[in-house]
Amino acid sequence: MPLWTRRHGPAAGAGRSIMRSMTPADIHALFETQRQASRTQVEVPLLVRRERLLRVRKLLDENGPVLAAAVQADFGMRSPRLTEVADFFVLRTLLSHTLKHLARWMKPQKVRTPLYLQPASAHVQRQPLGVVGVISPWNYPIQLALGPAITALAAGNRVMLKPSELTPHTSAQLALLVAQFFAPDEFCVVQGDANVAALFASLPFDHLVFTGSTPVGRKVAIAAAQNLTPTTLELGGKSPCIIDGHCDMQDAALKIAHGKLLNAGQTCIAPDYLLVPRGRETEFANAYRAAVARLFPTIEGNPDYASIITPRHHARLRTMLQQAQTQGAEVQPIDPAAGKPVVNTVGTLGDGASRQMLPTLVFGVTSDMQIMQEEIFGPVLPVISYERLDDAVAHINAGPRPLALYWFGQSEAARDDVLRRTVSGGVTVNDTLMHIAHDNLPFGGVGDSGWGAYHGEQGFLRFCHQKSVLVQSRWAMGSMFYPPYGARFDQVMGLLRRWL
C-alpha cells in the first residue's frame, strides 16, 4: 500500500469510526462535477468570488468552537486558544487581506509594447485555472486546509479538499460544514485513508497543493506529473536557527522556545536545530530552560502545550532520542514543574496528557544520528556548536535547502552575510515563525523543502493562468516582415538592428 500519509504516517486504523471514506466512484463524480462547472463558467465575476470568501468567513465565525473542539478531540490535548491563534487568526487575516485586494488582483495587467510592435496594445489576463486539489496535513488541520482553499477560491477556481486521516474529527467537521456552505461544484471535502489520498493525487487537477513531508511530496509530484498537473508543495525540512556572537541570549531563547514549542514542535517551520557559538552553550541552555518555564509553567495537563498527535509519532521521537543518547549525545529534558504538585486536568481536556512530551535539548549531535537526518517535528532541539560563522553557513549549505531560516544577532553585516550565502524558503530575523504571518510575503519552500507559494498576491497568481493578450491595431506595420523578402526588408532589419 502506498504511503500517502502526511508527515510520518498514521496509527493503524486511526479515525475509521469517524471519517466516511468515499468510494473511487464518488471521488471521480465529484471531480467531474467541478471540472464541468469550471469549463461552463470560465470567467468568475468579482462579486461571486467575494461572496464565496464571505461564506468561508461565516463558516469560521459561526463554527469556531465546534471546529476547535474537533481539533482538541484529535490531539487529545490542544487548547482551543492555541487553535484560535494558530488556525483561525491566520485564516481571518488571510481573508481580510484577500477581500481588500481582490479587485486589484483580478484586473488585467497592462504591459508596455515594444516599438517594433506598436501601435498594438497588450495586457495579461488573470484567469482561473479550473479545479484545484488541496491535500492538507494534520498539524494545523484547519489553517492548512482552508488557507490554500481560500486563495484558490479567490482566484476563481473550484476546490476539492482532502484533509488528513490523522485528524478524523476535524476532517469530518470540515466535510459537514463545507457541504452546508458550498455546493459540491464550488468546494467539497473528500474523506478517506491513505488509499483515498493516493487516488486523489492522481486526479487530473488543474493545480494540486500538498503540505507534508518531503518523501510523500515526491510521491505526490510523481502522481501529478502523470497528468501534467502543476503542483505547489510545502514540505518542511530541517530549518536552522543561528545565534550570532553578539546576541541578547535571554530574548533569543524566549523567541526560539516559542517557535520550537508552539504545537509541541509539530510545525513545518519550527526551528529544527540550533547553531550556537562555542562557549555559549550553557548560557543558552539556562536561558532556554527559563523561557520554557515562562511559557509553560507545567507540561503535563497543560492545555496550552499540545500533545504529540499519535502514539506512533510519540514513539518515533522517543526512539530518536534514545538512539542519539546511545551514540554519545547528551539529552536534557526540561520539566518546569519538577518537584511541584501537578493539577490533574486530563479528565476535562482529553486523553493526550500521556503524549505531552517534555521539551528537550540535545548536545553533542553528529550528522549520522537520525535526529540530524530527519525533520524532527516535535519539542526536541539539537544544539550544534560552531567556531566561526563560516562554519555555521557551511553546515547549512551541506544539507538540503530548508523551508525556513532564523538568525539572531545585532550585526547587520553578519546578518546580511548569512542571507547572501544561504538559500531557504523564508527567513525571520531576531524572531521565529513571523514571516509566515506577513500577507505580502510569499510563503513556500525551495528544493527539498518544496516549491511554489500561496500567500497574498503571489498565492493568487499561483492559482491563476496569466494569459498573454496582444490587440493588433488597424495601423499595424507587421506586413514589413512578410515575404517576399527583398531590399526593403533588408533596410527595415538594418534599422531595427541599430535600434536594438
More confident residue, 9 or 334: 334
Number of compact structural domains in the chain:
2
> Do 384 and 365 have their domain in common?
yes
Give the CATH number for residue 425. 3.40.309.10
Alpha carbon distances (Å) from 420 to 395, 413, 415, 417, 433: 15, 10, 9, 5, 20
End-to-end CA distance of the chain: give it in Å, rounded: 59
Whether 346 is in a domain gets the answer: yes
Q: Tell me what pLDDT residue 18 has.
A: 59
> Do 228 and 265 have their domain in common?
no
Mean of the per-residue pLDDT values for the chain?
91
> Do 76 and 150 have their domain in common?
yes
Give the CATH number for residue 134. 3.40.605.10
More confident residue, 287 or 454: 287
pLDDT in tens, 343-354: 444 334 456 888
Q: Tell me what pLDDT residue 17 has.
A: 44
Q: Tell me what pLDDT residue 451 has.
A: 93
Average pLDDT over residues 432-447: 93
Specify whether the CB–CB gap between 145 and 136 falls below 8 A.
Answer: yes
> Do 153 and 270 have their domain in common?
no
- Provide, rounded to the nearest whole percent, the portion of the chain with pLDDT above 90: 83
Closest Cα to residue 313, out of 405, 228, 407, 377?
A: 377
Alpha carbon distances (Å) from 123 to 71, 107, 116, 203, 469: 45, 10, 17, 32, 5
Q: Which of 241, 268, 375, 464 is catalytic?
A: 268
Cα–Cα–Cα angle for 61, 57, 176, rounded to 5 degrees: 75
Sheet (strand 121-128) strand order: 109-111, 121-128, 464-471
> Do 419 and 459 have their domain in common?
no
Q: Which of 234, 241, 281, 375 is catalytic?
A: 234
Average pLDDT over residues 284-300: 96
Residue 408 half-sphere exposure toward CB, CA atoms < 13 A: 24
Instruction: Please tell me whether residue 136 adopts helix, strand or coil conformation.
Output: coil
pLDDT in tens, 75-106: 999 999 999 999 999 999 999 999 999 999 99
> Do 225 and 291 have their domain in common?
no
> Do 318 and 185 have their domain in common?
no
Whether 136 is in a domain gets the answer: yes
> Do 278 and 323 have their domain in common?
yes
Whether 381 is in a domain gets the answer: yes
Among 444, 475, 490, which residue terminates a domain?
444
Structure pTM? Answer: 0.91
> Do 117 and 82 have their domain in common?
yes
Whether 375 is in a domain gets the answer: yes
Banded pLDDT at 340 (limits 50, 70, 90): low
* Domain containing residue 88: 24-235+453-464
Specify whether the CB–CB gap between 264 and 308 falls below 8 A.
Answer: yes
> Do 33 and 167 have their domain in common?
yes
Residue 464 appears among annotated catalytic residues? no
> Do 183 and 287 have their domain in common?
no
Q: Tell me what pLDDT residue 14 has.
A: 38
H/E element, 175: helix 168-181
Whether 470 is in a domain gets the answer: no
Residue 234 appears among annotated catalytic residues? yes
Q: What is the rounded distance in angstroms from the CA atom of residue 356 to the CA atom of residue 379?
A: 9
Specify whether the CB–CB gap between 330 and 364 falls below 8 A.
Answer: yes
Q: Alpha helix locations (H) across 388-486?
A: 389-397, 412-421, 456-462
> Do 199 and 222 have their domain in common?
yes
